[in-house]
Amino acid sequence: MDQDQEKAMYDNADKFIALANEMAKTSSQGQVGVAIRYAAARYSAFESSTRTNNLAEEKDKHLQFFVNTFTEMLQKNLEEYINIVSQRKPS
């Protein structure tokens, strides 16, 4: 991913996060989180369907791509939050 694509990805992600934060004012974080994950799964299935002529045959390949990508992103963000939380705690 080049720098322009990466910036666009982060900008779009920030829009989703802003919407999630707005939704969290009237719904629990758990409800908002599960809705985001469901929406991501649904959109990812749609995206996969547009990238192949035989989704049934390539389903596992697409599933592994999204699982691996999400796992990598989640690990990175968990590490960032671990660092943030550890900096808040008094020594």
Domain ranges of the chain: 3-88
Contact 66, 44 (CB under 8 A): yes
What is the spatial distance between Cα 87 and Cα 91, in angstroms, rounded to a whole number?
9
What is the spatial distance between Cα 82 and Cα 33, in angstroms, rounded to a whole number?
19
What is the spatial distance between Cα 80 and Cα 68, in angstroms, rounded to a whole number?
19
Residue 14 in 3-state DSSP? helix
* pLDDT confidence of residue 91: 61
The rounded Cα 42 to chain-centroid distance in angstroms is: 12
pTM here is 0.85
What does pLDDT average to in each consecutive run of 10 residues of the chain (91 residues)?
A: 94 97 97 97 98 98 98 97 88 61
